[in-house]
Amino acid sequence: MSDTRNHENVWGSIPENERYAWSNALIDNPPTILNFLGRMANRTQRYSHGTVSLDSWVKVARHFHDLGLSASDWLLLKDALAPIEPDPWGDCSPEERRAWSAATLEYRPHFTGATITALVERQVRRTGINICEPWISFALEFRAEDFTPEEFLLLNSLVWAFANEVPGVNGSELVPSEVDLEGGRRFQLRAAEWRSWLLRYRGGADPAALMAAIVAPTYDFARFGDPRLRMTPPPVPKYVPES
């Protein structure tokens, strides 16, 4: 009886049917390396209850279950997920985490595949905070250069609109791009290279004209004209976590 109670305490609020799925996922992808005694104890619990009960393993299941992931979601995302410890968001406040999660969902890091992207978007809409390492690192890179989420959105909206309108900009070192599986072109800016834009924008410069001037060496004014006069940022969508 005591063993059963301890087993229930380890799994907490995860429903019984999901425990089986999580156990299978953890056995196929061990979160920690076990010695002989650990493997035997884990196997005994699996035969007795149908699930594992090793604290360090179930901790992984409970952590990601509480963040809205199923075992199958975890299997698909596990290579992109940030570690549980230390806190991947560092000293960011909950409000900052939500704002940066929404911002980097709109302008994402490098293409990680349609399935992972869809799962990340669903998880962020559900909980408000991203838990995938590429997205978090991208956000923290811009935060380290003193960008706010709003300034990140403004800069990216301007660059994306500009690069899609002006031939030749795609090849710029300031606007690195890649092609996704659907043939669309994606851009991932490097925060440190846009620090001067941020400072001058905060000093009162027009953000669109300033951005165009910074990337001007990548296009031919004589051939394509000066697009700086017609640059307007597209509306930024607001992401609201699912209730």
pLDDT exceeds 50 at position 110? yes
Q: Tell me the per-residue pLDDT of 225-241, one tens digit each, with 9 for 90 and over.
A: 555 444 444 444 454 55
**For residue 144, what are the CA distances in angstroms to 30, 89, 90, 141, 203?**
34, 12, 12, 5, 19
- Asked if residues 185 and 170 have their Cβ atoms less than 8 Å apart, the reply is yes
- Asked if residues 131 and 67 have their Cβ atoms less than 8 Å apart, the reply is yes
Mean pLDDT for the chain overall: 78
Residues 6+ apart with CB under 8 A from 18: 65, 70, 71
Planar angle of CA 124, 128, 132, nearest 5 degrees:
45
Quote the pTM value: 0.73
pLDDT exceeds 60 at position 220? no
**Mean pLDDT (whole number) for 160-174:** 64
Residues 6+ apart with CB under 8 A from 164: none
pLDDT of residue 153: 95
- Asked if residues 61 and 20 have their Cβ atoms less than 8 Å apart, the reply is no
**How would residue 1 be classed by pLDDT, with cut points 50, 70 and 90?**
very low
pLDDT exceeds 70 at position 221? no
pLDDT of residue 197: 94
Handedness of CA 90, 13, 28, 129 (dihedral sign): negative
Element (H, E) at 134: helix 133-144
Q: Tell me the per-residue pLDDT of 70-105, one tens digit each, with 9 for 90 and over.
A: 898 888 888 888 888 889 999 999 999 999 999 998
pLDDT of residue 140: 97
**Mean pLDDT (whole number) for 189-195:** 90
**How would residue 27 be classed by pLDDT, with cut points 50, 70 and 90?**
confident
Residues 6+ apart with CB under 8 A from 233: 154, 157, 158, 161, 207, 208
pLDDT of residue 226: 53
Supply 170's token pair.
Answer: 């795609």
Q: How far apart are CA 51 and CA 61, in angstroms?
A: 12
pLDDT of residue 205: 94
The closest alpha carbon to 201, from 155, 165, 156, belongs to 155
Instruction: Answer with the residue of higher pLDDT: 156 or 230.
Output: 156
Cα 169 to its chain centre, rounded Å, is 26
**Mean pLDDT (whole number) for 20-27:** 88
Pairing of strands 185-187, 177-179: antiparallel
